[in-house]
């Protein structure tokens, strides 16, 4: 991890000054918890220009409009969620390997799926597939509480450090099979699957509140899938088919149930 991965401008200038001194001394530093009021500092985050270019070129130019989503994408430094050797490519328009045969999603896909969730700030969101934790961080900027499940323990463990560095207090991670959801925290206002499944896992449907929505890549693994938004209206599925996508497969129980 680099000496300092993120500087944030804060109203508390003493914290910023303290971090700047640590930077000069090559001591790691992250400013603490009240991250919701913070803004990335143009002068001190070496990736901020690349991030802003990505936002213009890959998000706004392709139709991402929600100002809150764009602000969250500007806030979350993707470079701290990717392995060191891919850091320079952090703002490329593509997924990147994160180990264990998995990938961090393309920034556009993260923004697009997040926009589809229509988050206003108070929601309880369930994410299936924590991966690097990048999407989790974007969701946590926009929702009240984010519960995220990852089936590969090593990835869930690795995601903890960057999320802690950013000071999030509204994220809970769990290692397990997301097929079964997280009953103790249900019902959820929104559920996001970041791995493809040929059908909605039944427990997730039950854990979605009335009026809630699921965003997921629907389809067979290793083929093009349909990104869909499914709303629960009067207990029934109302499905919108959106764009074509290619995601890694949801593993675990769903594969045994076919």
Among 16, 64, 171, 195, binds ligand SAM (CB under 6 A): 195
Q: Which stretch binds ligand SAM (CB under 6 A): 44-52, 151-159, 203-211, 220-228?
A: 151-159
Q: Is 194 in the site for ligand SAM (CB under 6 A)?
A: yes
24 exposed, middle or buried (CB, 10 Å; 0-12, 13-18, 19+)? exposed
Question: 10 or 105: whose CB is closer to ligand SAM?
Answer: 105
Among 9, 177, 185, 203, binds ligand SAM (CB under 6 A): 177
Q: Is 66 in the site for ligand SAM (CB under 6 A)?
A: no
| Residue 181 Cβ vs ligand SAM, minimum distance, rounded to whole Å | 10
13 catalytic? Reply is no
Q: Is 146 in the site for ligand SAM (CB under 6 A)?
A: no
Q: What's the CA gap between 249 and 40, in Å, rounded?
A: 34
Q: Which of 2, 41, 105, 197 is catalytic?
A: 105
Output the CA–CA distances (angstroms, integers) from residue 129 to 60, 64, 148, 232, 248, in the order listed.
26, 23, 7, 22, 10
148: enclosing H helix or E strand: strand 145-150
237: enclosing H helix or E strand: strand 236-245
Q: Is 155 in the site for ligand SAM (CB under 6 A)?
A: yes
| Residue 55 Cβ vs ligand SAM, minimum distance, rounded to whole Å | 16
CB 116 within 8 A of CB 180: no
**Cα distance from N-terminal residue to C-terminal residue, the chain:** 41
Among 129, 181, 212, 217, binds ligand SAM (CB under 6 A): 129
CB count in 10 Å sphere of residue 22: 15
User: Rule CB under 6 A: which of 4-63 touch ligand SAM?
Assistant: none
Among 29, 125, 126, 151, binds ligand SAM (CB under 6 A): 151
């Amino acid at each position: 991890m680099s000496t300092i991965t993120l500087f944030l401008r804060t109203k508390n200038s003493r914290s910023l000054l303290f971090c700047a001194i640590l930077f000069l001394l090559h001591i790691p530093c992250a400013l603490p918890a009240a991250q919701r009021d913070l803004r990335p500092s143009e002068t001190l985050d070496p990736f901020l220009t690349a991030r802003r270019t990505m936002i213009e070129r890959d998000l706004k130019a392709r139709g991402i409009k929600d100002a809150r989503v764009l602000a969250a994408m500007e806030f979350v430094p993707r470079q701290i969620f990717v392995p060191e050797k891919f850091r320079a490519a952090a703002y490329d328009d593509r997924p990147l390997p994160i180990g264990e045969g998995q990938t961090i999603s393309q920034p556009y896909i993260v923004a697009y799926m997040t926009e589809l969730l229509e988050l206003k700030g108070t929601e309880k969101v369930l994410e299936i597939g924590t991966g690097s934790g990048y999407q989790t961080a974007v969701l946590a900027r926009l929702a009240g509480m984010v519960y995220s499940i990852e089936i590969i323990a090593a990835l869930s463990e690795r995601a903890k450090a960057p999320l802690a560095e950013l000071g999030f207090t509204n994220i809970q991670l769990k290692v397990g099979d997301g097929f079964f959801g997280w009953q103790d925290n249900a019902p959820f206002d929104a559920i996001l699957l970041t791995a493809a499944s040929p059908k909605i896992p039944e427990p997730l449907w039950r854990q979605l509140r009335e009026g809630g929505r699921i965003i997921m890549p629907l389809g067979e693994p290793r083929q093009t899938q349909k990104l869909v938004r499914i709303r629960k209206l009067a207990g029934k599925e109302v499905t919108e088919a959106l764009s074509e996508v290619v995601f890694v497969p949801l593993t675990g129980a769903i594969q045994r149930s076919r």
